[in-house]
Copies of this chain bind each other. A is one copy, B any other.
Amino acid sequence: MATIYEVSKLAGVSLATVSRVINNNTPVREATRIKVLEAMDKLGYHPNSVAQSLASSRSNSIGIVVSELNGPFFGTLLSDIETAFRKAGKHVIIAAGHSDEKLEKESISFLQSRNCDALILHVEAVSDDYLTELADKDVPFVLLNRFVPSLYQRCITLNNQHGGYLATQHLLQLGHTNIGYISGPMWKHDAEQRYNGHLRALAEFAINSSQSVFYEGDYHEKGGADGMTQLLNTDPQITAVVCANDEMAAGAMTAARELGRSLPEQLSVVGFDNVNFSHYMCPKLTTVDYPIGGMGQMASRWVLKNVYQQKLGDIQNVFEPRLIQRDSAAAAK
Instruction: Mark A residues whose CB is within 8 Å of B.
Output: 1, 46-51, 53-54, 59, 61, 68-72, 74-76, 78-79, 82-83, 86, 91-96, 109-110, 112-115, 138, 221, 250, 254, 276-277, 280-282
Report chain B residues within 8 Å CB of A281. 280-282
Q: Quick one: which of B1, B74, B115, B221 contacts A50, CB cutoff 8 A?
A: B115
Contact status B59-A70, CB under 8 Å: no
In the complex, A75→B68 CA distance in Å? Answer: 9
In the complex, A79→B276 CA distance in Å? Answer: 18
Q: How far is the CB of A86 from chain B (nearest CB, A)?
A: 7
Q: A48-B115, A59-B50, A94-B94 are in contact. Are A71 and B75 (CB under 8 A)?
A: yes
Using CB atoms, name the residue of chain B closest to A69. Answer: B79
Using CB atoms, name the residue of chain B closest to A72. Answer: B72
In the complex, A232→B112 CA distance in Å? Answer: 56
Using CB atoms, name the residue of chain B closest to A57. Answer: B50
Most buried by B among A54, A61, A68, A91: A91
Report chain B residues within 8 Å CB of A70. 72, 75-76, 78-79, 276
Contact status A82-B95, CB under 8 Å: yes
Using CB atoms, name the residue of chain B closest to A53. Answer: B50
Report chain B residues within 8 Å CB of A109. 46
Q: How far is the CB of A266 from chain B (nearest CB, A)?
A: 16
Contact status A96-B115, CB under 8 Å: no
Per assembly, the copies of the chain total 2
In the complex, A262→B289 CA distance in Å? Answer: 30
Q: Quick one: which of B49, B79, B94, B138 contacts A115, CB cutoff 8 A?
A: B49
A–B Cβ pairs within 8 angstroms, 5 of them: A49-B113, A49-B115, A71-B276, A72-B75, A72-B277
Most buried by B among A48, A71, A96, A113: A113
Report chain B residues within 8 Å CB of A280. 221, 250, 254, 277, 280-281
Q: Quick one: which of B76, B79, B93, B113 contacts A92, CB cutoff 8 A?
A: B93
Closest A-B pairs by Cβ, 6 of them: A70-B75, A69-B79, A277-B277, A70-B79, A250-B280, A50-B53
Q: Quick one: which of B46, B68, B82, B95 contacts A91, CB cutoff 8 A?
A: B95
Report chain B residues within 8 Å CB of A54. 48, 50-51, 54
Report chain B residues within 8 Å CB of A48. 54, 113, 115
Using CB atoms, name the residue of chain B closest to A247. Answer: B280
In the complex, A53→B280 CA distance in Å? Answer: 46
Q: How far is the CB of A193 from chain B (nearest CB, A)?
A: 25
Contact status A68-B72, CB under 8 Å: no
Contact status B46-A113, CB under 8 Å: yes
